[in-house]
Amino acid sequence: MPNLTLDSLQATIRDDVARALAEDIGSGDITAALIPAERQASATIISREPATLAGTAWANEVFRQVSPAIAVEWRAADGDRLQPNDPFCILRGPARALLTAERSALNFLQMLSATATRSRYFAHLVEGTGVRLLDTRKTLPGLRMAQKYSVTCGGCDNHRIGLYDAFLIKENHIAACGGIAQAIQQAHVIAPGKPVEVEVESLDELRQALEAGADIIMLDELSDADMRTAVEITAGRAKLEASGGITESNLRSVAETGVDYISIGSLTKDIKAVDLSMRLSM
């Protein structure tokens, strides 16, 4: 599946930010109201730790929705490496607006940068193997597009976005349809042209999926030896994706089996927010 791009996410970004500001500001920022309305200020955003930046478009939209009078200057772009204490964003504008926007902007930046940073780490672990690391649907509710975009900032790739853009036929689907061949045949009838991926748990099921014409076959918790055999059996007739039980300790060995993809839920679900700070000066 193609990776998300910012051009395709403009409406999503506006909606994400509008929800975030609504829950944070509510009826108004009563603390910021302590500051004279005419007072101007500048601010810098820094990271307190090494990180890969993501989420600048969401931060831009926060500042725009809070006050178009805020000027934003980025000294780094999505995908760039951040070093501790280096200012990567400079802000100027009404002090009230800067303080009102601060938390929502930082929330987007620290969470999305955490996703990009983790993705960069995993991409480094398989460097040189040719495998593509894919995210999953294990994302924060309501922020899937943002997290999946951030995965690409870290050098990994997007799997399907949701339940609508590709088939992923798993054990329960196969049982309900009466078999692998029947499930794949019905998929081609329901949505011709949509990618059809089938999860298999054995080499016998792999052969069934190949005979039925699956586009992608997910090898669920197969041993490294079986995955190497699967690559030989498949011989390029379908793409192979390894999934299940994959951690940073065994990721490299799985990548070296010759599979095309490895999907990893922890790219988006096991993240720790990057420690960011905004420093205001009058």
- Residues carrying an active site annotation: 103, 138, 170, 199, 220
**Cα 173 from Cα 189, distance rounded (Å):** 16
94 close to 67: Cβ distance less than 8 angstroms: yes
* Sign of torsion over alpha carbons 156, 160, 162, 168: negative
Q: Which of 249, 183, 189, 241 is nearest to 212 (CA)?
A: 183
CA 197 to each of CA 64, 204, 207: distance values in angstroms, whole numbers, following the listed order? 41, 16, 14
242 close to 227: Cβ distance less than 8 angstroms: yes
User: Is residue 92 exposed (0-12), middle (13-18) or buried (19+ Cβ within 10 Å)?
Assistant: middle
Strand-pairing partners, residue 151, are none
Strand-pairing partners, residue 168, are 197
277 close to 45: Cβ distance less than 8 angstroms: yes
**Cα 100 from Cα 103, distance rounded (Å):** 7
Q: Helix (H, G, I), strand (E, B), or coil: what is residue 228? A: helix
- Residue found by looking up tokens 């050098």 in the block: 155
Q: What type of residue is 33?
A: A
